[in-house]
Amino acid sequence: MNAHDTVRPIRWTPQGLQLLDQRELPTEVRYLDCKTSAEVAEAIREMVVRGAPAIGIAAAYGVVLAAQEALAEDATRWRELLEPKITRLAESRPTAVNLFWALERMRQRLATAGRDPVAALLEEARAIQEEDLAANLCMGELGAGLLQEPCAVLTHCNTGALATAGYGTALGVIRSGYASGKITHVYAGETRPWLQGARLTAWELRQDAIPVTLIADAAAPLLMRRGEVRWVIVGADRIAANGDVANKIGTYGLAIAARAHGVKFMVVAPTSTIDWQLASGDDIPIESRSHDELLTVQGVRLAAEGVAAWNPVFDVTPAEYIDAIVTEHGVVHGPRPDTMARLREKISAQGG
């Protein structure tokens, strides 16, 4: 780790999986022990762990626990008993494609696991975690290379170490950019209703001594109009084959405002986030969550009784509003079907 990279949210121990409980940040730093696959699924569902890459990593370790449980229940029928446990993990969050990618990779490893399936699955889960960290370090350098001169940037939600194996996607670019002198300051949108920007991104950047200013989500267009930022840098939860991007609710509005004010828009995500089976963002399922997340804050009601709420968790930004998609396999400038197809060819050529 360097001076701007100190946070790690996922730990595997002989006792099970430890997840930094992101519901408690920034007031308390506490790791939650998950000793069963059901506890991992619940932790994903309840946003103990969040961020597409981190969800995938946690689910991979959840499969390790599921295999341990199935073998303990019946050593002759353990494969049959394992499948419902994997299904429960798959159902924990519907939008983050990394979840399904990681579970499919674990299934493939299981097919060749041999006489010690738990050891084989643990090796694969660790590989997924280590590869994610390496990808983030690579994307950090590639994304920082797009910044032509020192500037301030705006980010949304949390796309850092807390959302990944470490270093981060969009925050990985910010870490690399700040270390190289390309980024002078970071503005973080608060990201209602879960306040990931306020609670997580601002906390994470402070841990690593990167200067950050928190703004209300609605203040972003004014910040752009005043010329305070040159880039918006965000992550992604799913990317369609044409370059449309599903990300935290509010990303679409930022992209429109950025285009109107001449601000560049960068999406940073590993290629595991790309769903090549989806032709466009119109096909991406959008998760909705409880109305209470909008109507209350930490159990205190903000709106009058009887008021309804609409709480989509993600929106889709059309590729036409995106200047660059940064992946560990390279940068897609001006994402559209043909430029995305060239990225897919490059991944295949590299054995990805």
d(CA 158, CA 233): 11
Q: Give buried/exposed letters for 258-268 (b at 16+ CB in 10 A, else e).
A: bbebebbbbbb
Catalytic residue among 5, 208, 237, 315: 237
Angle between the 78-90 and 97-111 helix axes, to the nearest 10 degrees? Answer: 170
CA distances (Å), 34 to each of 13, 70, 293, in order?
Answer: 10, 16, 25
Annotated catalytic residue 237: yes
d(CA 267, CA 322): 7
293 exposure class (CB count in 10 Å sphere: 0-12, 13-18, 19+): middle
The candidate with the shortest Cα–Cα distance to 214, out of 194, 239, 192, 197, is 197
How many CB atoms sit inside 10 A of residue 30's CB? 13
Residues with a catalytic annotation lie at 237
